[in-house]
Amino acid sequence: MAQPHTDDAGPAGPRLLALSDLHVSHAENREIVEALQPGTPEDWLIVAGDVAETVADIESTLRLLRGRFAEVVWVPGNHDLWTVRHDDVRLRGVERYEHLVARCREIGVHTPEDPFPVWEGAGGPVTVAPLFTLYDYSFHPPGTDNKEDGLAYAHGTGVVCTDEFLLHPDPYPTREAWCAARIDYSERRLSEVSGPTVLVDHYPLVRHPTDILRYPEFAQWCGTVRTADWHTKYDAVAVVYGHLHIPRITHQDGVRFQEVSLGYPREWRRRPAPQYRIHTVLPAS
Ligand SMILES: [Fe+2]
Ligand SMILES: [Fe+2]
């Protein structure tokens, strides 16, 4: 398989690169990830969640990438946090997340629980802030204005995220309670940063990228209204996210929102060439 492309010719030199939704349990995706190489030994790679469903797959993938890129920055996606039958690790919720953070620390991968690294290369210095904010059902489906009606709408159409069955919030009573705690923690961390940032989250932080979802009711599993002003409040030069499996760049308030998903083979196979690529965050093209 050919080596994945980066998305622009750009100036030569180290880059801050990004990819999400690697979903390496799909054999073709695993092949792509195993072929990933930096352009220079100083390149950094942001991995914006949904690496795999088992701890072993997540750890081995991040270890491989850490061996190739100068720095690797990871945030959890919902799939990374699922507790699936075929994983020997039976941990749920916060304990599962903390277990993944511990594995990352062992292999030298940055997480939302660590000091934020600063990109000093072209386009820098910029603080790269990995975040984990989850969702709280506040992106209501059409014609609804609360969680109960939103979920009822989704059950009516049959478009219900698998998180409802596999992403456990323990010890929090609900996923939205876990989300609220993550928002408070993240705001505390971000308020300590001065200067420009790249905000990294599995979720888009604002709602507009979900406007083109085929099933609008899926938006309720894609973020929270509580992060709507973070891109301006925390001086973002870019917001890097995944989860929607719709790789593209949009802008809001002059800030670049960059979805960097690989996605499932059935999705990337439909794309025009190149069907998959690593995305350049900095320097901006
Ligand atoms: Fe995904
Ligand atoms: Fe996801």
How remote is the CA of residue 13 from the centroid of ligand 2, in Å?
Answer: 31
Ranges in the chain, pLDDT < 50: 1-2
Structure confidence at residue 12 (pLDDT): 77
Determine what percent of the chain falls in helix, strand and coil, rounding each to the nearest 5.
35, 20, 50
The ligand placed nearest to the CA atom of residue 52 is 1
Cα of 194 to ligand 1 centre, how many Å?
Answer: 31
Question: In this structure, which amino acid lies at residue 20?
Answer: S
| Sequence spans of domains, the chain | 5-282
CATH class assigned to 5-282: alpha beta
| Residues 74 and 106: beta-carbon distance below 8 Å | no
Q: Where are the beta strands (DSSP E) in the chain?
A: 5-6, 16-19, 44-47, 71-74, 118-119, 126-130, 197-200, 236-241, 248-252, 255-259, 277-282
pLDDT in tens, 167-188: 999 999 999 999 999 999 999 9
pLDDT at residue number 57: 98
pLDDT for 276 equals 86
The predicted structure's pLDDT at residue 281: 98
pLDDT of residue 285: 81
Omega into 274 within 30° of 0, i.e. cis? yes
Q: What is the pLDDT of residue 2?
A: 46
Contacts of 268 (CB under 8 A, 6+ apart): 262, 275, 276
For the stretch 129-143, pLDDT in tens is 999 999 999 999 999
What does the pLDDT read at residue 11?
58
- The number of the ligand nearest the C-alpha atom of 222 reads 2
Instruction: Give residue 70 CA to ligand 2 midpoint distance, Å.
Output: 25
pTM to 2 decimals? 0.97
> Do 213 and 161 touch, CB atoms closer than 8 A?
no
